[in-house]
């Protein structure tokens, strides 16, 4: 019995290759996948990070050969704002729901420490929305509009000899959350030799600072050769233009200058064609897969670990979502009860302190009231004394007036008698 069981286990672990005796029909699986994917449609989300006026909107218009309505941003934004715009694009029988997110006001503030935080918050918010949909009891992932950022085009200004500190800090903060492809914008403003030196310097600084940018995959033999060669051209030096210019006998996308023209789709002039080839025609699906399997998975794992969920070893007890949830809920309720008790105790202490203050104020009020009563009594006593003095003074005055009147009357009578005697 034990030997038979061991044979079954070993047989279950080993895979046997069998040859079919005839056509079965599951070779149509790739066609089924293609038909289903085409019917469902695709979504692709691009984040454009760069300073105001560096050419983000123009490059998007050139990439998709259309005009996306996008109002120009000023250089006087108080903070960085992310402005997403979603478009429905159709090419042949393929439908693409494209979302382009612009960073409005990036790099325009005097204090640039807060420039990258709104970008990270936006990326995390899209991950959070997808995770919430996954954790719902009644999910609708099939029809869910996936807004997770698949690619970040980081626009580098060719104004210096290397990257700015803002560029390094921002890309370092973003590399674990999104696929980054650095591009040198407005590459026609520098010479070819300077451009080559700038590319080498930028890649050197990215490596020395540990910034992980997106490398085109070389595992698939079908695209390994072209991707390996294109990785050597990073960062791409691009030029955007929606203006049609006649060069020779044909109309091309170009920028006109007094000394000539710069053709956008001429690989001798810039790397725009390489960027479009790598981004849209060869590696778009890999970018979508990397976003889900690498960046979103990292966010999801960290988020669930924060919530208290953890995997167990194969030899230990199996993982129970319900037990983990109940334990976390019990811990949360105990923490809530502890905080309520702390608040209640704080309230009691506040009441006691307030009562003590009221008693002290009442005691002080009684003292003031007693002092006021004594002062009032003393004033009444002084008032009575003054009234008595006034009465005594008035009596003396009346007596003095009476005596004076009698003296005057006696003097007048004596004077009259003297006059009578003289007569």
pLDDT at 422: 66
DSSP string, 362-411: HHHHHHHHHHHHHHHHHHHHHHHHHHHHHHHHHHHHHHHHHHHHHHHHHH
Spatial contact of 283 and 216, defined as CB atoms under 8 Å apart: yes
Distance CA 223, CA 226 (A): 6
- Decide: 157 and 185 in contact? Cβ < 8 Å: yes
**Contact present, 231 and 177 (Cβ < 8 Å):** no
**Residue 10 confidence (pLDDT):** 53
Short-list 252, 284, 269, CA closest to 65: 252
Q: For residue 115, name the pLDDT band (cuts at 50, 70, 90).
A: confident
Q: Which residues of 124-150 are buried (b: 16+ CB within 10 A; e: fewer)?
A: eebbeebeeeeeeeeeeeeeeebbbbb
Whole-number percent of the chain with pLDDT over 90: 53
pLDDT of 9 > 60? The answer is no
Instruction: Evaluate if residue 260 carries a pLDDT over 70.
Output: yes
Q: What pLDDT sits at residue 406?
A: 83
Residue 320 has pLDDT above 70, yes or no: no
Contacts 24+ apart (CB under 8 A), 369-373: none
Beta bridge partners of 94: 91
Answer whether 162's CB lies under 8 Å from 122's CB: no
Give Cα separations from 220 to 215, 284, 367 (angstroms): 13, 14, 94
Average pLDDT on 188-213 reads: 92
What the block records as the tokens of 372 is: 């006021």
Helix (H) or strand (E) holding 358: helix 321-422
Q: What tens digit of pLDDT does each residue of 374-397 get?
A: 999 999 999 999 999 999 999 999
For residues 120, 82, 57, 217, the Cα torsion angle rounded to the nearest 10 degrees is 20
Contact criterion met (CB below 8 Å) for 145 and 191: no
Residue 63 near residue 280 (C-beta atoms within 8 A): yes
Beta bridge pairs of residue 46: 100, 151
Higher pLDDT, 129 or 322: 129
- pLDDT above 90 for 212: yes
pLDDT at 167 over 90: yes
pLDDT of residue 1: 53
Specify the pLDDT at position 111: 77
Query: Which pLDDT tens digit goes with each residue over 118-155?
Result: 999 999 999 999 999 988 888 888 888 999 999 999 99
Q: Report, as an integer, the average pLDDT of 300-317.
A: 74
Res 418 pLDDT > 90:
no
The rounded distance, in Å, linking the Cα atoms of 175 and 129 is: 20
What percent of the chain stands above pLDDT 70?
93
**What pLDDT score does 2 carry?**
53
> Could you tell me if 48 and 56 are in contact, meaning their C-beta atoms sit under 8 angstroms apart?
yes
Is this structure's pTM higher than 0.85?
no
| 196 HSE (CA, 13 A, CB side) | 3
Residue 6: pLDDT over 60: no
Residue 44, strand partner residues: 98
Tokens at residue 232, please? 């050597």
Confidence at 236, pLDDT banded by 50, 70, 90: very high
- Tokens standing for 297? 């998975």
Mean pLDDT of 70-91: 86
pLDDT score at 15: 85
Strands 244-247 and 250-257: antiparallel
Residues 50, 155: contact at Cβ < 8 Å?
yes
Q: Is the pLDDT of residue 404 over 90?
A: no
Close Cβ partners of 53 (under 8 Å, ≥ 6 residues apart) = 75
Helical (H) or strand (E) element with 260 = strand 260-263
Question: What average pLDDT is seen over the chain?
Answer: 87
Q: List, for residues 47-57, the tens digit of each pLDDT value.
A: 999 998 898 99
* 62 within 8 A of 242, measured Cβ to Cβ: yes
pLDDT of residue 262: 86
More confident residue, 352 or 421: 352
């Amino acid at each position: 019995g034990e030997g038979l069981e061991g044979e079954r286990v070993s047989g279950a672990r080993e895979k046997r290759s069998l040859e079919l005796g005839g056509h079965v029909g599951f070779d149509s699986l790739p066609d089924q996948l293609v038909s289903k994917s085409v019917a469902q449609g695709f979504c692709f989300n691009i984040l454009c990070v760069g300073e105001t006026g560096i050419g983000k909107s123009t490059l998007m218009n050139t990439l998709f050969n259309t005009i996306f309505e996008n109002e120009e941003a000023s250089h006087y934004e108080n903070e960085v704002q992310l402005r997403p715009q979603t478009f429905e694009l159709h090419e042949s029988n393929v439908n693409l729901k494209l979302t382009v997110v612009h960073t409005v006001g990036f790099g325009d503030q005097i204090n640039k420490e807060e420039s990258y935080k709104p970008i990270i918050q936006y990326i995390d918010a899209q991950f959070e929305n997808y995770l919430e949909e996954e954790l719902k009891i009644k999910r609708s992932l099939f029809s869910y509009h996936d807004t997770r950022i698949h690619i970040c085009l980081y626009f580098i200004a060719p104004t210096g000899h290397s990257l700015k500190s803002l560029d390094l800090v921002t890309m370092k903060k973003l590399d674990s959350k999104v696929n980054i492809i650095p591009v040198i914008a407005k590459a026609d403003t520098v010479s070819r030799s300077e451009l080559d030196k700038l590319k080498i310097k930028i890649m050197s600084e990215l490596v020395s600072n540990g910034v992980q940018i997106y490398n085109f995959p070389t595992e698939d033999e079908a695209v390994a050769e072209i991707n390996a060669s294109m990785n050597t051209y990073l960062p791409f030096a691009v030029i955007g233009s929606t203006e049609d210019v006649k060069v020779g006998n044909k109309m091309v996308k170009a920028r006109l200058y007094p000394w000539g023209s710069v053709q956008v789709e001429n690989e001798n002039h810039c790397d725009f064609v390489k960027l479009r080839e790598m981004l849209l025609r060869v590696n778009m699906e890999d970018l979508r897969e990397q976003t889900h399997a690498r960046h979103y998975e990292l966010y999801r794992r960290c988020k669930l670990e924060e919530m208290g969920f953890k995997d167990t070893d194969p030899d230990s007890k199996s993982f129970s979502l319900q037990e983990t949830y109940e334990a976390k809920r019990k811990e949360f309720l105990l923490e809530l009860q502890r905080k309520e008790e702390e608040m209640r105790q704080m309230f009691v202490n506040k009441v006691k302190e307030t009562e003590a203050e009221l008693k002290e104020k009442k005691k002080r009020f009684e003292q003031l009231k007693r002092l006021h009563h004594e002062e009032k009594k003393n004033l009444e006593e002084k008032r009575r004394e003054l009234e008595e003095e006034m009465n005594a003074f008035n009596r003396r005055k009346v007596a003095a007036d009476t005596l004076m009147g009698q003296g005057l009357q006696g003097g007048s009578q004596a004077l009259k008698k003297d006059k009578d005697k003289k007569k």
